[in-house]
Structure formats: C-alpha cells, structure tokens
Amino acid sequence: MGEAVRVLAVLAQHPELELEWDEWNLGADRFLETGVSISDREFQNLADDYDAILLGALGDPRVPGNEHARDILLGLRFRLDLYVNYRPCKVRHPRYSPLRDPAGAAMDVRIFRENTEGSYAGVGGALRQGTPEEVAIQEDVNTYRGVERIIRAAFGYARRHDRRRVTMVDKANAMAASGALWRRVFEEVAADFADIEAQAMYVDAMAMDLVRRPDHHQVVVTSNLFGDILSDLGAVLAGGLGLAASANTHPGRHALFEPVHGSAPDIAGQGTANPMAAILCVALLLDHLGWPWAAGRLEAAVEAALADEVGTPDLGGDAGTVQVGRWIADHLTDDRTLWERQTDE
Ligand SMILES: NC(=O)c1ccc[n+]([C@@H]2O[C@H](COP(=O)([O-])OP(=O)(O)OC[C@H]3O[C@@H](n4cnc5c(N)ncnc54)[C@H](O)[C@@H]3O)[C@@H](O)[C@H]2O)c1
C-alpha cells in the first residue's frame, strides 16, 4: 500500500487532480493491542466523509480466527451495502499469462460479482455436529432486488464502456430455483439494453471458456460464489494475484478499492510483495472519481514496467516492492502525455 500511496502522491501534483487523503491504521497490531478492529464511529466516518476508500490487504497469522480482517472487510461490504464487486481481468503483457494461445493476449474480461448475498449471506447451520449423523446446511440466498441491481450494474458498465456483450453465469441446470430467478431477471434487464448482446452460460462452461477462448467474453455478471472462483481464475490467467485489483461499490454512494490478494504472510517482511495490484487499485479509484485519462496513464505506467521486465519474484523478476513502486512513480513523473494535458481538453 505504501507504493500505491507513493504513486498517488505523484498524481496529486497534477493541477487537474484534486486528491486529498488521510491515512488510517486499521492493522492487526492495533487490534491485538486494543481489541478493536474498527469502531462504529470509524465506520460512520468512512461512510460520511470520504469519496473513496483504498484498503490494504488484511489477515494476520497472530489472529488465527481472522475476526479482525472479517470485521473490517465484511463489515464494510455489508454495512455500506457494497453490492458490486468489480474485478477486471486483463492480460497486460502476454509474458505473464499462462495462456499459450495468442488469443490469450487479448483477454480483457470485466467480472461483476454480486457481493452481498448468495452462499456468503451466512444463512445456515449445523446439527448433530461431530457425529456420523451431522447435517450442515449453507443456504444460497438470491433476492430479486439483489440480482436485479448487479445485472443492471453490469449492463450499465457495458454501455458506458462500449462493450457489446454481457454474459450471465449460473448453474441453472442443477440449481433450478436460483437459476430461474437469475435467468428471468437477466432477460428483463437485457430488454432495456437492446444494443448489447446478452448471453447466459453455466459456470462450468465459463471456466472452460476463460481458458479456451479468453478473448470472447467482455463483461461477465454472476453470483457471489461463482464470481469469487471465476475472478481468481481470471486473475491467474491475466498474470497472477500480484496484478489483480478490485472495486467494491454501491454506485452513487460508496466505493472501496482493494487488491484481490490477501496479506501474503508467507513473504511478509521480505520486501518482495508485488505492489502492482495495489497500484492498479489507484487507477480504478481515479476512474471512479471521474479522471479516466489519469487512470489510463497509470495503467500505461504499470504496463511499461511489465514490458521492461521490472517485476517482483512472483512475476519471475528480481526487483523489490519499493523498486517497482519507484519505477512506476518515476515513469509517471516523466510521462509528458499526463503532464501536458490541457485543462480545456
Ligand atoms: N481482501 C483481503 O484482505 C484478503 C483476501 C484474501 C485473503 N486474505 C487474508 O490474507 C491471509 C493470507 O491468505 P492466503 O495466503 O490465502 O492468500 P494470499 O493472497 O495472501 O496469498 C496467496 C499466495 O499468493 C502470494 N501473493 C499474494 N499477494 C501477493 C503479492 N502482492 N505479491 C506477491 N505474491 C503475492 C502469497 O505469497 C501466497 O503464496 C489470510 O489471513 C486471509 O484471510 C485477505
């Protein structure tokens, strides 16, 4: 996150980018000292006083129950009703994708994962635990309102970004009740977007398709569980977790940007974590705040680093976290297209 802030500080010098931020420490150290993960006041403060939240990865082995990370992450997601989990999966340089088909280089799928219900709603329970008669029930919650708003968000995005196809992913052949709802709502919403091709697919077929014809899909909309899995597959096909950024939003109200990866405890303290996912979150944030041109220049800077083979060990490189962050910040500082942008454009 330090490298993301370094890049933000460079961009904040641009006369057209009115960027101001506060840094908050919600880390596990504080939780271990005080027992507080995030207070009600802090929640309210985040909800009321900021246009966007840039959140570092959470998760610390000293909190084995993971309640600190869960409180903050799920707390923000549910309390701010961040129903859109947007995960772009774009191959930024073919060298870093495991796909060997040249079509893989053109993969640029935007995944819209429903973020507030589905199998993650926490509805269910167990009985006769620890016995051979144990029963575990985990419900899959799908509401008309929840399904409709995520599908509408995906179509709205496609129209705004000139994408011609939206694919809805479900498992309607085996999960008939939720499948029927998703398919009916998909058709209803698609009717309002007649200029966009609407396609429905089963999740197993989509998993194959992402590998087999990665350039085919443009915008994918799906449930919480399927979106979780497909977006990790997409992230790996695009170059790995070190490059995967995401946005959690309630359009028109709140926005939170975070790398897809966790806190990578296996490499903690070594100075080798890839900062690109966090830096690409800054690009998503700039786009959200209404500066897509600046987001584009930042993405170009990351892509230049990849083309120059400036990367951390996860990408096969030998650079450290700070070295990669500085390279990208310097590239932005030298980017004449960024700085010579006319204010009257
Ligand atoms: N959004 C979040 O904050 C989030 C997401 C996932 C996991 N977690 C938490 O993170 C902790 C670790 O979870 P995990 O190990 O399952 O997932 P992880 O994403 O932290 O790590 C998985 C693997 O990817 C590597 N990796 C991850 N990010 C990397 C980066 N930026 N650069 C280089 N390599 C990177 C790690 O070294 C590890 O080998 C757990 O506490 C988990 O709950 C948090």
Strands 165-170 and 197-202: parallel
Question: What is the Cα–Cα distance from 54 to 245, expressed in whole angstroms?
Answer: 11
Annotated catalytic residue within 29, 51, 204, 308: 204
Q: Is 232 a catalytic residue?
A: yes
Mean local confidence (pLDDT), 81-105: 93
On whether both 202 and 225 belong to a single domain, the answer is: yes
pTM of the model: 0.94
Is 311's C-beta closer than 6 angstroms to any atom of ligand 1?
A: no
Confidence of residue 45 (pLDDT cuts 50, 70, 90): very high
Amino acid at position 46, single letter: L
Closest CA to 190 of 228, 134, 148: 148
What tens digit of pLDDT does each residue of 147-162 get?
Answer: 999 999 999 999 999 9
On whether both 216 and 298 belong to a single domain, the answer is: no
pLDDT at 104: 80
**What string of DSSP letters covers 166-179?**
EEEEE-TTT-HHHH
Could you identify the residue written with the tokens 């060997």? 100
Is 321's C-beta closer than 6 angstroms to any atom of ligand 1?
A: no
Is 219's C-beta closer than 6 angstroms to any atom of ligand 1?
A: no
Strands 108-114 and 219-222: parallel
Q: Which domain holds residue 41?
A: 1-82+253-345
Confidence of residue 198 (pLDDT cuts 50, 70, 90): very high
On whether both 228 and 102 belong to a single domain, the answer is: yes
Mean local confidence (pLDDT), 221-239: 96
Measured between alpha carbons, how far apart are the two ends of the chain, in Å? 32
On whether both 109 and 234 belong to a single domain, the answer is: yes
What tens digit of pLDDT does each residue of 259-292 get?
Answer: 999 999 999 999 999 999 999 999 999 999 999 9
If you measure from the C-alpha of residue 173 to the centroid of ligand 1, how many angstroms do you get, rounded to a whole number? 33
Q: Is 202 a catalytic residue?
A: no
Of ligand 1's listed atoms, the one at least distance from the Cα of 273 is: 32
Report if residue 343 sits inside a domain.
yes
- The CATH number assigned to the domain holding 131 equals 3.40.718.10
Is 66's C-beta closer than 6 angstroms to any atom of ligand 1?
A: yes
Out of 261, 302, 318, 322, give the residue to mutate to test ligand 1, the one with the largest number of ligand atoms within 8 Å of its CB.
Answer: 261
Residue nearest to atom 17 of ligand 1 (CA): 262
Question: Which residue among 203, 238, 273 closes a domain?
Answer: 238
Question: What is the Cα–Cα distance from 166 to 95, expressed in whole angstroms?
Answer: 28
Provide the token pair at 236.
């790996």
Annotated catalytic residue within 96, 120, 140, 157: 120
CB burial readout 294-326, b (16+ within 10 A) else e: bbebbbbbbebbbeeebbbebbebebbbebbbb
Q: Is 171 a catalytic residue?
A: yes
pLDDT at 342: 61
Mean local confidence (pLDDT), 314-319: 96
Provide the token pair at 331.
């590239």
Q: Is 90 a catalytic residue?
A: no
Is 234's C-beta closer than 6 angstroms to any atom of ligand 1?
A: no
8 A C-beta contact, residue 196 and residue 164: yes
Contact partners, residue 320, CB within 8 Å, separation at least 6: 271, 272, 312
* Alpha helix segments (H runs only) across the chain: 2-11, 28-34, 40-49, 67-79, 144-160, 176-191, 203-212, 224-238, 276-288, 292-307, 321-333, 336-339
Is 1's C-beta closer than 6 angstroms to any atom of ligand 1?
A: no
Annotated catalytic residue within 140, 171, 287, 314: 171
Number of domains in the chain: 2
Report if residue 87 sits inside a domain.
no
Confidence of residue 185 (pLDDT cuts 50, 70, 90): very high
Residue 91, SS3 per DSSP:
coil
Residue nearest to atom 14 of ligand 1 (CA): 262
- Residue 340 CA to its chain's centroid (Å): 31
Q: Is the pLDDT of residue 143 over 60?
A: yes
Question: Which residue among 238, 269, 300 closes a domain?
Answer: 238
Question: Which residue among 212, 238, 264 closes a domain?
Answer: 238
On whether both 116 and 227 belong to a single domain, the answer is: yes
Mean local confidence (pLDDT), 45-69: 95
Report if residue 161 sits inside a domain.
yes
Mean local confidence (pLDDT), 329-335: 97
Is 248's C-beta closer than 6 angstroms to any atom of ligand 1?
A: no
- Residue 132 CA to its chain's centroid (Å): 40
Question: What is the Cα–Cα distance from 166 to 217, expressed in whole angstroms?
Answer: 8
8 A C-beta contact, residue 223 and residue 183: no
Provide the token pair at 133.
């008669």
Report if residue 36 sits inside a domain.
yes
Residue 27, SS3 per DSSP:
coil
